[in-house]
Structure 1
Amino acid sequence: MAEHPETASAYRLAELLGDLPHPDDFGPEAYELVERTRDLVAAVAANDASPETRADIAATLADIVTRLRAAVRQPHIVVARDHHGTIYNLTQAGSGLLNPHAPRLIFDPVPPPPADAEPRPVEMRATVTLTEAHSGPPHRAHGGIVAAILDEALGTAATRAGATGLTAGINVRYKAGTPLHTPLEVTARYSHTEGRKHIATGELRSGDTVCATAEAVFITEARS
């Protein structure tokens, strides 16, 4: 049976689609809208405005939502490829540049491996700063957000190593509270492959403090 694009991962979808836009093709206005929406969510989570102000803003936002819904694309997913051949799922929730729900997770550039090359060891870093929108305990990030960041980073490292796949499992160990409004660094590395299983490890740090560590398994998709 032929594979349906809606059931594929972003990277398999990229293979199926062939020609893809460049991330820059969407223009600075699209990314500015995402940034201001992130700021809005953080401000809503932390605001103590009057009921009248909240009602007025809610009405304004309802109008904005109506305007945006009038231009919804189908399907919503956007996959792009840069000049180095790196694939981006711009709408996914882990680090999608067009998804304001995703944290501002910025990866250091790592070029993709040659096509059909064997997976190679890769270590890469990313930075992120979390806001009130990601809070759990007072002044600390929710553990689910920390796990999502590590899942995203480890998956990206595996992909940059040439070991693409879907997350089969991730084991996260929390070592210390993850602070808000503080630059954080994620280190992720692809280690090895066992059949269709790709193994990656990593950690999230605030300065010299390790906030969490993780090991993840990614499974290469079966081809029909």
Structure 2
Amino acid sequence: MTDTQLDTSQRLSLRIAASNLTKEFAGTFNEKTVDRFLVTSYDQFAGRATITRFLPLMAERFARQRLRALAKVEGHHDDGLPTVLFLCVHNAGRSQMAMGFFQHLAGDRAVAWSGGSEPGERVNAAAVAAMAERGIDISAEFPKPWTDETVRAADVVISMGCGDACPIFPGKRYEEWVLEDPAGKSVDAVRPVRDEIERRVRALLDELAVPART
């Protein structure tokens, strides 16, 4: 990404994002590191986005996640909370529903991230609708790739169908959840997948000794 490729609104939004992140990570990362993560995060989405007005916000959110992960990996900050990374191919259905359930049930007692080996353009609409039936809103989420720092910072990595494309780092706890892909399916067809994901997330929280909301 170069500055000349951005319109005035995007440049302003990215400058605001950079300022927000620089303040948030002051004392942990310098401005140069923050800018690098913001730019590379933006580039992850810019090449495949069909609607560009949300790109700066997506880049800021993704850069924030990556910087928090890096801070944990490098020992700058570790709150001791269990961190789980949910991975699937497009990060549009299964991994998004799993993260949604995990965040809803765990609250601030654990951390969940998600990613994909080949991120799609948007979260599956049937998955969004199925989760909404359970009172969980994942409509503001967006597909994103996994990165080295998020994998390294995770205590548990749950993969769902990404096979050899999923990253392997020594010393991590890995699990493969065999679940039907919701892509192209109706809400009726997605509900059984959603319910199985909830069951597995609840079991995972029990194993991590994280109390789940009732």
- Normalising by structure 1, what TM-score? 0.27
The structure whose residues are more often strand, as a share, is: 1
The structure whose residues are more often helix, as a share, is: 2
- Normalising by structure 2, what TM-score? 0.28
